[in-house]
Amino acid sequence: MHDPMVEAFTIRRPWPEVRKLTRAYKTTFRGVFWRFAGHEFYWPALVTVWHVEPDGKDAGTVCKPSTWRKHPHHWRIRFHPWQQFRRWAFTRCTWCGGKSRKGDYVNTGYGWEPDREPARWWQSERGLFHGDCISVDHAHHTCVCSLAEGGPWANGSASGDPYGACATCGGFRRMSTGTHADYEVHLVTTTLMQGIPRGERDAAVMAEVKRLWREHRQNEGTAA
């Protein structure tokens, strides 16, 4: 995947987040996660410094990893408390337009987009979704044509690319990975999400989608 950005280093917050454990755990001290005295301690990032490869090249193709810390002119610095405030105050979900709130964050996207203009600090960040909303958005762009004999696709693509857009529905087609049963569940759950009108959310539908995938994985585990 083409991406010129890579994390160079992180500065952790000097005070941890503390959560009381509901059951006994072995005392452990692993990096930024500690467990002892019936509590879990986590030191979240305060500042993350990203190295941006010159001229939009893939990370590591121009500057070697050993030099990333020495290239402040290539850094992009993210101050997480500010980022969290900005998302709370300004960022809106690309699918539903909803706000980013605790337990329902707008922090998921499709990855780095080189042609996307950065938003001003007082504007919503572009291309971010709630976790369930990005699944629904993806479903609305996905082919759900039935399985065809001898292959995972019912129809060819206009371009001839086996993984291109479907020539019938125009949706993107899932790569032929996994089992036939995997693809059948994919078809059913994607069709369910396509039934959610554009710009809307449906907790009941998403609960059913999760249930179907959960049961499918349980059945596969039993069969194995």
Alpha carbon distance 101, 104 (integer Å):
5
Element housing 127 (H / E): none
pLDDT band at 122 (very low <50, low <70, confident <90, very high): confident
Rounded to 5°, angle at Cα 95 from 115 and 214: 110
Determine the pLDDT at residue 150. 38
Determine the pLDDT at residue 160. 52
Higher pLDDT, 174 or 57: 57
pLDDT band at 1 (very low <50, low <70, confident <90, very high): very low
- Percentages helix, strand, coil for the chain (3-state, rounded to 5) are 30, 25, 45
The secondary structure of 44-85 as a DSSP string is: -EEEEEEEE-GGGPPTTSSS-GGGGGG-GGGEEEEEHHHHHH
Contacts of 115 (CB under 8 A, 6+ apart): none
Is the pTM here over 0.85, yes or no?
no
Mean pLDDT of the chain: 84
Determine the pLDDT at residue 145. 75
The amino acid at 168: T
Most confident of 70-79, 114-123, 155-164: 70-79
Task: Spell out a b/e string for 84-106, using b for 16 or more CB atoms within 10 Å of the CB, else e.
Answer: eebbeebbbbbbbeebbeeeebb
Average pLDDT over every residue of 194-207: 96
Q: Report whether pLDDT(115) > 50.
A: no
Average pLDDT over every residue of 190-202: 96
Domain locations in the chain as residue ranges: 1-89
pLDDT in tens, 134-185: 999 999 998 887 644 434 444 444 455 556 677 777 787 765 555 667 778 8
Determine the pLDDT at residue 161. 56
| Least confident piece of the model among 126-130, 152-156, 189-193, 214-218 | 152-156
